[in-house]
Structure 1
Amino acid sequence: MLTGIHHVAIICADYPRSKDFYQRILGLTVLAETYRQARDSWKLDLALPDGSQLELFSFPGAPARPSYPEAQGLRHLAFASDDLDADVHHLRLHGVECEPIRVDELTGRRFTFFADPDNLPLELYEVLPEAAGEN
Protein backbone atom coordinates (compact mmCIF):
# COMPACT_ATOMS: atom_id res chain seq x y z
CA MET A 1 0.00 0.00 0.00
CA LEU A 2 1.24 3.50 -0.75
CA THR A 3 1.72 5.63 2.34
CA GLY A 4 3.09 8.89 0.91
CA ILE A 5 5.86 10.34 -1.21
CA HIS A 6 9.31 9.28 -0.06
CA HIS A 7 11.39 11.51 -2.34
CA VAL A 8 11.51 13.60 -5.49
CA ALA A 9 14.68 13.53 -7.61
CA ILE A 10 16.02 16.55 -9.52
CA ILE A 11 18.95 16.66 -11.96
CA CYS A 12 20.64 20.06 -11.84
CA ALA A 13 22.97 21.86 -14.24
CA ASP A 14 25.14 23.60 -11.62
CA TYR A 15 25.44 21.36 -8.55
CA PRO A 16 27.01 23.89 -6.11
CA ARG A 17 24.46 26.55 -7.06
CA SER A 18 21.49 24.19 -6.69
CA LYS A 19 22.87 22.74 -3.44
CA ASP A 20 23.08 26.28 -2.01
CA PHE A 21 19.56 27.10 -3.20
CA TYR A 22 17.87 24.04 -1.70
CA GLN A 23 19.96 23.97 1.47
CA ARG A 24 20.52 27.62 2.39
CA ILE A 25 17.59 29.43 0.77
CA LEU A 26 14.85 26.79 1.09
CA GLY A 27 16.26 25.47 4.37
CA LEU A 28 16.30 21.74 3.61
CA THR A 29 18.52 19.59 5.83
CA VAL A 30 21.37 17.55 4.34
CA LEU A 31 21.03 13.85 5.13
CA ALA A 32 23.89 12.59 2.95
CA GLU A 33 26.12 13.74 0.12
CA THR A 34 27.85 11.22 -2.13
CA TYR A 35 30.19 11.56 -5.07
CA ARG A 36 29.84 8.64 -7.48
CA GLN A 37 33.10 8.58 -9.42
CA ALA A 38 31.96 6.02 -12.01
CA ARG A 39 29.19 8.42 -13.07
CA ASP A 40 31.08 11.66 -12.33
CA SER A 41 27.94 12.53 -10.40
CA TRP A 42 26.99 14.04 -7.06
CA LYS A 43 23.92 12.87 -5.14
CA LEU A 44 22.62 15.02 -2.30
CA ASP A 45 19.84 13.71 -0.04
CA LEU A 46 17.85 16.53 1.57
CA ALA A 47 15.10 16.24 4.18
CA LEU A 48 11.92 18.26 4.52
CA PRO A 49 10.36 18.74 7.97
CA ASP A 50 7.60 16.19 7.24
CA GLY A 51 10.14 13.41 6.62
CA SER A 52 9.92 13.43 2.83
CA GLN A 53 13.13 13.87 0.87
CA LEU A 54 14.52 15.60 -2.17
CA GLU A 55 17.40 14.03 -4.10
CA LEU A 56 19.63 16.40 -6.03
CA PHE A 57 21.80 14.89 -8.78
CA SER A 58 24.49 16.24 -11.09
CA PHE A 59 25.05 14.41 -14.38
CA PRO A 60 27.51 15.73 -16.97
CA GLY A 61 25.79 16.76 -20.20
CA ALA A 62 22.22 16.33 -18.99
CA PRO A 63 19.84 18.04 -21.45
CA ALA A 64 17.89 21.13 -20.43
CA ARG A 65 14.15 21.03 -19.75
CA PRO A 66 12.43 21.31 -23.17
CA SER A 67 9.81 23.91 -22.20
CA TYR A 68 8.36 25.76 -19.24
CA PRO A 69 6.09 24.93 -17.53
CA GLU A 70 3.97 22.64 -19.67
CA ALA A 71 6.50 20.01 -20.76
CA GLN A 72 5.33 16.41 -20.50
CA GLY A 73 6.24 14.77 -17.23
CA LEU A 74 6.36 16.31 -13.78
CA ARG A 75 4.62 19.69 -13.99
CA HIS A 76 5.94 21.22 -10.78
CA LEU A 77 6.96 20.40 -7.21
CA ALA A 78 4.80 21.98 -4.51
CA PHE A 79 6.08 22.67 -0.99
CA ALA A 80 3.61 23.13 1.87
CA SER A 81 3.88 26.49 3.61
CA ASP A 82 2.37 27.43 6.96
CA ASP A 83 3.10 31.15 6.36
CA LEU A 84 3.02 31.98 2.67
CA ASP A 85 3.67 35.71 3.10
CA ALA A 86 6.77 35.10 5.25
CA ASP A 87 8.09 32.44 2.85
CA VAL A 88 7.62 34.69 -0.18
CA HIS A 89 9.36 37.52 1.67
CA HIS A 90 12.27 35.19 2.53
CA LEU A 91 12.64 34.09 -1.10
CA ARG A 92 12.57 37.68 -2.37
CA LEU A 93 15.24 38.68 0.16
CA HIS A 94 17.43 36.02 -1.50
CA GLY A 95 16.72 37.34 -5.01
CA VAL A 96 14.19 34.66 -5.91
CA GLU A 97 11.29 36.06 -7.95
CA CYS A 98 7.83 34.82 -7.04
CA GLU A 99 4.67 35.13 -9.09
CA PRO A 100 1.83 37.10 -7.54
CA ILE A 101 0.01 35.11 -4.85
CA ARG A 102 -3.15 33.50 -6.21
CA VAL A 103 -6.06 31.61 -4.65
CA ASP A 104 -6.82 28.04 -5.72
CA GLU A 105 -10.40 28.20 -7.00
CA LEU A 106 -11.06 24.61 -5.91
CA THR A 107 -9.68 24.74 -2.36
CA GLY A 108 -9.58 28.43 -1.46
CA ARG A 109 -5.90 28.04 -0.48
CA ARG A 110 -3.27 30.63 -1.44
CA PHE A 111 -0.23 29.69 -3.54
CA THR A 112 2.56 31.08 -5.68
CA PHE A 113 5.15 29.77 -8.12
CA PHE A 114 8.89 30.41 -8.30
CA ALA A 115 11.85 28.67 -9.96
CA ASP A 116 14.98 26.91 -8.81
CA PRO A 117 18.41 27.70 -10.34
CA ASP A 118 17.62 25.44 -13.33
CA ASN A 119 14.28 27.18 -13.89
CA LEU A 120 12.33 24.16 -12.61
CA PRO A 121 8.84 25.22 -11.54
CA LEU A 122 8.34 25.15 -7.77
CA GLU A 123 5.22 26.08 -5.84
CA LEU A 124 4.54 27.25 -2.31
CA TYR A 125 1.06 26.09 -1.26
CA GLU A 126 -0.32 27.48 1.97
CA VAL A 127 -1.52 24.77 4.35
CA LEU A 128 -2.65 26.17 7.67
CA PRO A 129 -1.93 24.08 10.80
CA GLU A 130 -5.60 23.24 11.42
CA ALA A 131 -5.87 22.03 7.80
CA ALA A 132 -2.56 20.13 7.63
CA GLY A 133 -4.34 16.85 6.89
CA GLU A 134 -6.30 18.37 3.99
CA ASN A 135 -5.04 18.54 0.39
Structure 2
Amino acid sequence: MSYLILSFFSVFLLFSSGVLQHDNATDAGQYQTDTQQQQAAATLRYMNAINSYLYAHPMADGTFSDSLLEAAPPSGVRHVIRQGRVFVYQPSQPGLKDALVTVSRHSALLGSVKSRRLIDLSGTDMQITLPDLIPEGYLVYLN
Protein backbone atom coordinates (compact mmCIF):
# COMPACT_ATOMS: atom_id res chain seq x y z
CA MET A 1 0.00 0.00 0.00
CA SER A 2 2.82 2.40 0.84
CA TYR A 3 4.34 1.80 -2.64
CA LEU A 4 1.02 2.75 -4.22
CA ILE A 5 0.83 5.98 -2.23
CA LEU A 6 4.48 6.74 -2.96
CA SER A 7 4.04 6.17 -6.71
CA PHE A 8 0.84 8.25 -6.74
CA PHE A 9 2.68 11.05 -4.94
CA SER A 10 5.63 10.81 -7.38
CA VAL A 11 3.35 11.03 -10.42
CA PHE A 12 1.60 14.01 -8.86
CA LEU A 13 4.94 15.80 -8.29
CA LEU A 14 6.12 15.13 -11.84
CA PHE A 15 2.86 16.42 -13.29
CA SER A 16 2.76 19.53 -11.13
CA SER A 17 6.38 20.48 -11.87
CA GLY A 18 5.69 20.28 -15.62
CA VAL A 19 2.67 22.53 -15.25
CA LEU A 20 4.69 25.05 -13.26
CA GLN A 21 7.44 25.11 -15.86
CA HIS A 22 4.87 25.75 -18.58
CA ASP A 23 3.34 28.57 -16.54
CA ASN A 24 6.78 30.15 -16.01
CA ALA A 25 7.49 30.05 -19.76
CA THR A 26 4.12 31.64 -20.47
CA ASP A 27 4.78 34.32 -17.85
CA ALA A 28 8.19 35.10 -19.38
CA GLY A 29 6.66 35.51 -22.84
CA GLN A 30 3.92 37.76 -21.47
CA TYR A 31 6.52 39.81 -19.59
CA GLN A 32 8.47 40.39 -22.82
CA THR A 33 5.28 41.40 -24.67
CA ASP A 34 4.31 43.80 -21.89
CA THR A 35 7.82 45.29 -21.84
CA GLN A 36 7.76 45.87 -25.61
CA GLN A 37 4.30 47.48 -25.39
CA GLN A 38 5.59 49.84 -22.68
CA GLN A 39 8.68 50.68 -24.79
CA ALA A 40 6.47 51.38 -27.82
CA ALA A 41 4.09 53.61 -25.84
CA ALA A 42 7.04 55.51 -24.34
CA THR A 43 8.51 55.98 -27.83
CA LEU A 44 5.28 57.58 -29.05
CA ARG A 45 5.11 59.83 -25.96
CA TYR A 46 8.70 60.87 -26.69
CA MET A 47 7.85 61.67 -30.32
CA ASN A 48 4.86 63.74 -29.19
CA ALA A 49 7.03 65.61 -26.69
CA ILE A 50 9.54 66.41 -29.45
CA ASN A 51 6.76 67.67 -31.70
CA SER A 52 5.38 69.87 -28.92
CA TYR A 53 8.83 71.30 -28.25
CA LEU A 54 9.44 71.97 -31.94
CA TYR A 55 6.10 73.73 -32.26
CA ALA A 56 7.33 76.32 -29.76
CA HIS A 57 11.00 76.20 -30.85
CA PRO A 58 11.19 75.49 -34.61
CA MET A 59 14.38 73.84 -35.81
CA ALA A 60 15.35 72.59 -39.28
CA ASP A 61 18.40 70.48 -38.44
CA GLY A 62 20.15 69.05 -35.40
CA THR A 63 19.22 67.70 -32.01
CA PHE A 64 18.49 69.19 -28.60
CA SER A 65 18.76 67.98 -25.05
CA ASP A 66 16.07 65.55 -23.94
CA SER A 67 15.98 67.41 -20.63
CA LEU A 68 13.99 70.14 -22.43
CA LEU A 69 11.13 67.71 -23.06
CA GLU A 70 8.16 66.76 -20.95
CA ALA A 71 8.75 63.06 -21.64
CA ALA A 72 12.07 61.29 -21.23
CA PRO A 73 13.10 58.88 -23.97
CA PRO A 74 13.04 55.16 -23.32
CA SER A 75 16.41 53.48 -23.03
CA GLY A 76 18.28 53.48 -26.34
CA VAL A 77 15.90 55.85 -28.12
CA ARG A 78 17.36 58.95 -29.79
CA HIS A 79 16.27 61.64 -32.18
CA VAL A 80 17.68 63.77 -34.95
CA ILE A 81 16.11 66.46 -37.10
CA ARG A 82 17.02 66.76 -40.78
CA GLN A 83 15.41 69.26 -43.14
CA GLY A 84 12.53 69.78 -40.71
CA ARG A 85 11.78 66.07 -40.42
CA VAL A 86 12.10 64.35 -37.02
CA PHE A 87 13.63 60.88 -36.91
CA VAL A 88 13.17 58.96 -33.65
CA TYR A 89 15.26 55.79 -33.84
CA GLN A 90 16.07 52.82 -31.65
CA PRO A 91 17.63 49.37 -31.89
CA SER A 92 15.29 46.66 -33.06
CA GLN A 93 14.37 44.08 -30.41
CA PRO A 94 12.20 40.97 -30.70
CA GLY A 95 8.57 42.06 -30.61
CA LEU A 96 9.26 45.81 -30.58
CA LYS A 97 8.29 46.43 -34.20
CA ASP A 98 4.96 44.64 -33.67
CA ALA A 99 4.37 46.63 -30.48
CA LEU A 100 5.08 49.91 -32.30
CA VAL A 101 2.69 48.88 -35.08
CA THR A 102 -0.03 48.18 -32.52
CA VAL A 103 0.51 51.28 -30.39
CA SER A 104 0.79 53.57 -33.43
CA ARG A 105 -2.29 51.98 -35.03
CA HIS A 106 -0.34 50.80 -38.09
CA SER A 107 1.25 54.18 -38.75
CA ALA A 108 2.74 54.73 -42.19
CA LEU A 109 5.51 56.71 -40.46
CA LEU A 110 7.14 53.60 -39.01
CA GLY A 111 9.96 51.82 -40.79
CA SER A 112 13.27 50.05 -40.42
CA VAL A 113 16.70 50.69 -41.88
CA LYS A 114 17.81 48.15 -44.50
CA SER A 115 20.79 48.80 -46.79
CA ARG A 116 20.76 52.47 -45.72
CA ARG A 117 17.15 52.84 -46.92
CA LEU A 118 14.04 53.38 -44.80
CA ILE A 119 11.63 50.50 -45.47
CA ASP A 120 7.97 50.75 -44.41
CA LEU A 121 5.81 48.00 -42.89
CA SER A 122 4.84 46.61 -46.29
CA GLY A 123 8.48 46.30 -47.36
CA THR A 124 8.46 49.33 -49.66
CA ASP A 125 11.29 51.86 -49.80
CA MET A 126 9.92 55.10 -48.33
CA GLN A 127 12.24 57.17 -50.58
CA ILE A 128 13.46 59.19 -47.61
CA THR A 129 17.13 60.03 -47.17
CA LEU A 130 18.27 58.85 -43.77
CA PRO A 131 20.73 60.78 -41.61
CA ASP A 132 24.06 58.92 -41.58
CA LEU A 133 24.03 58.48 -37.80
CA ILE A 134 21.03 56.10 -37.83
CA PRO A 135 22.50 52.56 -37.82
CA GLU A 136 21.52 49.64 -40.00
CA GLY A 137 18.67 47.51 -38.62
CA TYR A 138 17.25 50.24 -36.37
CA LEU A 139 13.55 51.01 -36.14
CA VAL A 140 12.64 54.56 -37.14
CA TYR A 141 9.50 56.55 -36.40
CA LEU A 142 9.42 59.79 -38.32
CA ASN A 143 7.37 62.94 -38.55
> Under TM normalisation by the shorter chain, which class is it?
under 0.3
TM-score, normalised with respect to structure 2: 0.26
Q: Which has the higher strand share?
A: 1
TM-score, normalised with respect to structure 1: 0.27
Q: Which has the higher helix share?
A: 2
